[in-house]
Amino acid sequence: MHYIESGAGTPLVLLHAFPVDARMWDPLRVRLEEQVRVITPDQRGLGESALDGSWARGMLDERSASLIVDRPGVDVAAADVVELLDRLELPRVVLGGCSMGGYVASAVLRAAPQRVAGLLLVDTKAPADTEGQQANRLGVATRAEKEGTSGWLAESMLSNLLGASTRQRRPQVVEELRALIEAQPADGVAWAQRAMASRPDSLAALRAFEGPAMVVVGSEDTITPPEAAREMVDALPNGELVELPGVGHLPSLEAPDALARVLLPWLASIDV
Ligand code: MLT
């Protein structure tokens, strides 16, 4: 699994949103790395991580690898994260995820809660998809496989991913995000949509997590709005909520200074 790592201190693994890759965390990483060891993997099929899990050759035979390609699921993405922790010899980490990354972080909580010393959920939500949302995802997956993702995917998502304030005032962020979306392989985009469509509700996993948890949401997030964040905080026994004003769905790109300001003291308080 491809990952970017920098810094030293509390190990923090950050899982990226859809349809981008680990580079969405770069503006935040440079603001944390003096105090934090920041590890940001590319999810299977996105960024530089191969869809067939070829980084794990030797652990998986070809048949098992092709079965995984044919069985998209957040549990598979979570197993990739746990395998990375094993490879880095990290028994416990602070685990964070933005949106799709939050769905995968919740799947890690279900599969291996003992590996999670602290939980960071950024602009994500707990409920499973409705049938309508699933159908929409399967439509996007099929279109990506047929047509590729050039042009239409970024065009259809940009206005939802970024807050209105960012879109109006920071055209360079819009263009950076467009380039990140354009860089994603179509088969990985399709796999990720199918994986998200089949994910279960994660409220029970959040209720069972007794460690420190922070839920961050942009006030202008229309994909996973502040109500979705409140539902997760209410479920978490040790959760705290931070709402970032004037920010949309991707605070690490839109407001990395504000995000780093809330994260640094919280991370320093966690005993990994
Ligand atoms: C994301 O940002 O990861 C996606 O918008 C999440 C989703 O499609 O549910």
Domain boundaries, the chain: 3-268
pLDDT digits (tens, 9 = 90+) for 25-67: 999 999 999 999 999 999 999 999 999 877 765 566 666 666 6
Question: Is the per-residue pLDDT at 172 higher than 90?
Answer: yes
Range with the poorest average pLDDT among 65-74, 103-112, 211-220, 256-265: 65-74
Candidate of 25, 42, 99 to mutate for ligand 1, largest count of ligand atoms within 8 Å of Cβ: 99
Output the ligand 1 site: residues, CB below 6 A: 17-18, 99-100, 196, 223, 249
Atom of ligand 1 nearest to the CA of 250: 2
Q: Does the global pTM surpass 0.90?
A: yes
DSSP β-bridge partners for residue 11: 37
Q: State in Å: Cα 100 to ligand 1 middle.
A: 5
Candidate of 14, 16, 18, 158 to mutate for ligand 1, largest count of ligand atoms within 8 Å of Cβ: 18
CATH fold of the domain at 3-268: Rossmann fold (3.40.50)
Mean of the pLDDT values across residues 115-144?
Answer: 98
Atom of ligand 1 nearest to the CA of 223: 5
ipTM above 0.90, yes or no: yes
Percent of the chain whose pLDDT exceeds 90 = 93
